[in-house]
Structure 1
Amino acid sequence: MKHFLSLIFFIFSWSSFSYGSLQKDTDIALQEIVPLQFEQTNQTSLFHYYDKHDDTHWFKYKLSPEQQNIPIILTVSNMNFQELSLFEKYGDSLLFVERTGNNFRSLKEETTRFNQFKITTTASEIYLRAKINNFSLIDLEVATVDEFYKKESKSFLYLGLYYGIVIMSLIFNIVFYFVFKDKRFITYSLLLFSVAMMFLYEDGLFSFLTTNPWLLNNFTMITSPVTALIACIFTYYFLELKKYDAAFIRRVCPVLSLSFLFALLFFIFHNNILLSVCNIFNFIAALLCCHAAIKLFRKEILARFLIFTLGMVLLFGLLYNLHQYGVLEAAMFGRNTFKLASSFEIITISFAIIYKIRKVRAENTHFKTEIKRYIQELETEKNKVQPISSVPSDTEISLADLVKKFNLTERELQVLEGINNGLSNQEIAAQLFLSLSTVKFHIGNLYSKLDIKNRTQAIKLLHRK
């Protein structure tokens, strides 16, 4: 009974709040709006004013004669709007029409991609009062019903192509992970999924999965630090930084920690400055990934792939964010351009992984051939020692003695002589016309037969009295 009364009280309180808010909207007089200093936006017929006292944004849209007296659809294709109230101007007053926004999407009977109003009006001006998570362009589109559905059909076609590429790439990488057990595949799959979820949200498709207001208002803040973390992990495995740049982890960990810290502080204090600082640290983490790839530009071809693709995505991502904040108002820096850059990155990285697979397969085939040849040498020279060039005169133990004592092959003796002469593995490979992997294979056998662990011990063994 107690829980039932609590539920009734909650419903009543919520209803009162909703009704009170609605009444507040309907009681707004025109004289409160007219004196406001509206400024021109990136759209010809749209004007904006920010009320610092209420932390609300007002938008005024002037309808053309062709848009009056017919059904039109107003679409705000931006997921940062918590609340949107629509008003029509009639004489000296504003008439409240409808309310939408992330906080009210669960109350709508029909789920739509973005916040929408479907109206038929004789008014020459309409007003939108908005509460926004962090200010960005409103991206208001006004179209007739036929125009709207034609544009939506094209949009869903493009969305299908993009997410089709993403799904195919995910399947491709997951299958190859189970085949090769290479962490590059699974980390890239996680990165693909994370980026796809961010675009799913930006494209308004996330609303079909949930209408939870908290998730819709904070989804970008949740996924941005996670995506930066996964990008760093992918870079670490993709470029084999454990071998080339072990200090990479020590560089990115403080940056990622600060990113998650400011994200947490944002959820507590809801200050947009904290959000901006968090995004800055996410961008720095991405730059550190690029820096690691630049350092390996000459050594590793995969680093060149990563520099080209990640650098391009970072550039278009930065331009997209500047466009969202109204710094760059050109339409070419919008969401579709950013998505196109992301699609190119997906295809390019996939080709890079395919290239790596082919290279590994070629190396494995060559390695198997060398092993077969080595076995044949063992069988041929099992009881036979071929004379080879002598080692320096200060060697106390002759190579012939080593052959008898440790049953070394001719090739192993040649490799041992190279070690004694101070040659590197690459130099020994060039001198004997062998691959580097074959030289390493022979050195491993030498260490095993001579019961030593490094080159120094091999040289000491040769010069031992």
Structure 2
Amino acid sequence: MKTWLILTLPLLFTLCSCSKYHSFTKYYAVKGEASQEIKDISPDLFTENPEIVDNGLDNGVYWLMVPQSRVRAMTVYEFPSPHLTHVKCYQNGKEVVAMPNTRYSSFLIGQSGDMLFFRIDCKLEAYIPLKVYDLNEFSGEETKQFLLTGLYFGLALAVILFNLSFFFLFKERTFLLYSFFGLSINLSLLYSDSIFNFFFGMGSFDHLEMILHPLTASMGSLFASQYLNLSENFKRGCQIGLGLNIIMLALVPFYFYSLDYHLFAVIESLVMGILSFYWLCGLINLQRAAYAPYFALAYIQILFFAVNYYISKIAGLSTLAVSENMLKIGGVFEMALLTYSVFFRMQLIKDDNTEMKRMIMEFTQEGGHKIKPEEVDDERDVDKEEQSEQEESLMDTLSNREIEIIRLIQAGKSNKEIAEEIYLSVNTVKYHIKKIFEKLEVSSRHEVRKKSTFD
């Protein structure tokens, strides 16, 4: 039931947001050549039916035409995509200057009656959304979007600072890693909102995405590995994740050298694949860790929307794409739930370890005098007070992994069964059991069960 809830919740959000694509204005389009100029373009070159260019990997130069009958005075033509920074507009054969201080490429058309042509150089995916506003409507929409963006990023910054303060307060490394993960996510969202274009000029950071997205995947990998304790719970998964990250990061310099869009698509797919892999690791641990469901539920919100938002455009399936606002809604849900889940995990582990060590110490003290001479060679003669202090010190040295193996020994598991359940080799399990024997001062599994009987 938990798994079905985790899988279906983001689908419901997506169904509620699919109207974004249908709000764009259709136009007549044709793919051109890089050498073409406005003098080479005529109306008979364009498609017979209006459309929205959504051709995925088929990028390059496109020409758009808005017929004379649909051109009105004092209207703004906006291309709401952070990747469309190389756009030119022509009316009556003359270039129309782009509006300054806007997030996206926007053009104010002062007169009606003459058809418009747009030359768009799609450096990345061939996806060209167009929105048309009255001038007053455009100003109001920009003000509203800046207000919503400011509220969201203010909240995001507060969550990041809270997690940093919790790290210094509780010395819990998971809070620090989530702070870095949250920061990288929100820097990526800043780019998607074209905030960098607004402050630094159109096209100033065209390739910043190829730094931010791999950074997000790497930070997400570190956070997920720490939160789910994959180095102990799923060692093979930890190795696979590391390998995927190495491949992704190795490809980034090649992209900046070649600026090849197909390499961009491969890296984006790897980013989403890595994040999806760690979410699957969370699903694998659903039945084994009480805090894993919180991770899986929170992680899938931002992951599902990110895959839907970025990969759908690369694949030419933008009819399925969610809006930037839906990405933010997923981000708010993810930040709130993951911050709570880190708290929950920390307290759960702390309480569990405290109770385990208390019970081990009690049973050690009760059963210590029953150890048979032939099972353990201990000729030390210490009084009860000294023995109690030594045992308490030994209990404090038990690691989380050793406590987990003690539980499985108590359940009657063999070395092979323990190895399969916690994803370790049989030899590694034997090594841990040897260390447990030394710390509890026993020489058999029977004595371990006697000294560490759990409910």
Superposition deviation, residue 151 in structure 1? 1.3
Is the 8 Å Cα contact of residues 54 and 128 (structure 2) preserved in structure 1? Answer: no
- How far the C-alpha of 1:40 sits from its partner, in A, is 5.1
Deviations 1:249-285 (A, max 9, x none): 4212221222123222221122211111111221221
- The one-letter code sitting in structure 2 at the alignment partner of 1:251 is I
Q: Which residue is 1:179 aligned to?
A: 169
What's the CA shift for 1:38? 2.8
Listed as ranges, the matches of 1:402-441 within 5 Å are 405=382, 407=384, 408=387, 425-426=406-407
Contact 2:221–2:274 (8 Å) recurs in 1: yes
Deviation at 1:231, TM superposition (A): 0.7
Letter in 1 for 2:149: L
**Which AA in structure 2 matches 1:55?**
G
8 Å CA contact 2:228–2:292 kept in 1: the answer is yes
Residue by residue over 1:271-330, the C-alpha shift from the partner in whole angstroms, topping out at 9 and shown as x without a partner, is 211111111221221122123212211111222122222223222222212543474444
Q: Tell whether the 8 Å contact from 1:83 to 1:132 is kept in structure 2 after alignment.
A: yes
The AA in structure 1 aligned to 2:86 is: E
Q: Residues of 1 paired with 2:266 and 2:79: CA distance?
A: 27
165 and 175 in structure 1: CA distance in 2 versus 1, 3 angstrom threshold: same
1:141 aligns with 2:146: no
**Distance of 2:382 and 2:155 partners within structure 1:** 62
Structure 2 unaligned spans of 5+? 1-34, 396-404, 412-433, 449-455
Corresponding residue of 2:79 = 76
Q: 1:86 to 1:357 in 2, by over 3 A?
A: same
Question: Shift of the alpha carbon at 1:199?
Answer: 0.8
TM-fit CA distance, 1:363: 5.5
1:137 touches 1:324 (CA, 8 Å); kept in 2?
A: yes
Is the partner of 1:316 in helix, strand or coil?
helix
TM-score by length of 2: 0.69
Q: Which residue of 216, 222, 237 corresponds with 1:233?
A: 222
The 8 Å contact of residues 85 and 105 in structure 2, kept in 1 or not, is answered as no
Q: TM-score, normalised by structure 1?
A: 0.68
| 1:312 maps onto 2:329 in alignment | no
* Structure 2 residue identity aligned to 1:272: Y
Q: Partners of 1:277 and 1:332 in 2: how far apart?
A: 19
**Distance (Å, rounded) in 2 between the aligned partners of 1:60 and 1:310:** 42
Q: CA deviation at 1:128?
A: 0.6
Corresponding residue for residue 428 of structure 2:
none
8 Å Cα contact 2:77/2:106 also seen in 1: yes
**Distance between the aligned counterparts of 1:192 and 1:132, measured in 2?**
30
Which residue number corresponds to residue 90 of structure 2? 87
> Does the C-alpha gap of structure 1 residues 389 and 361 become closer, same or farther in structure 2, counting only changes over 3 Å?
closer
CA contact (8 A) 1:83 1:130 kept: yes
Q: Deviation of residue 344 (structure 1)?
A: 1.3
Residues 135-184 of structure 1, C-alpha deviation per residue, up to 9 Å, x if partnerless? 24322221111101121222123212321221111111010011112111
For the 8 Å contact 2:308–2:321, the answer to whether it is kept is no
SS at match of 1:96: strand
Structure 1, unmatched stretches of 5+, are 1-23, 101-107, 417-423, 431-446
Establish whether residue 188 from structure 1 lines up as the match of residue 191 from structure 2: no
From the CA coordinates, give the structure whose radius of gyration is larger: 1
The equivalent of 2:111 in structure 1 is 121
SS of the residue corresponding to residue 139 of structure 1 reads coil
Confirm whether residue 59 of structure 1 aligns to residue 69 of structure 2.
Answer: no
Partner of residue 3, structure 1: none
Match of 2:313 among 314, 324, 337: 324
Q: Which residue of 1 aligns with 2:154?
A: 164
CA, structure 1 residues 63+318, in 2 after alignment: closer, same or farther (shift >3 Å)?
farther
1:11-52 CA-to-partner distances (Å, cap 9, x unmatched) read xxxxxxxxxxxxx98x733x6332324375655xxx7999x9
**Distance change (3 Å), C-alpha of 1:320 and 1:293:** same
Deviations 1:235-260 (A, max 9, x none): 11111223312333421222122212
1:19 is matched with none
The match for 1:103 is: none
The Cα RMSD (Å) is 4.3
| 1-structure distance, mates of 2:210, 2:220 | 16
Query: 1:299 is paired with a residue of what secondary structure?
Result: coil
Distance in 2 (alpha carbons) for counterparts of 1:427 and 1:190: 35
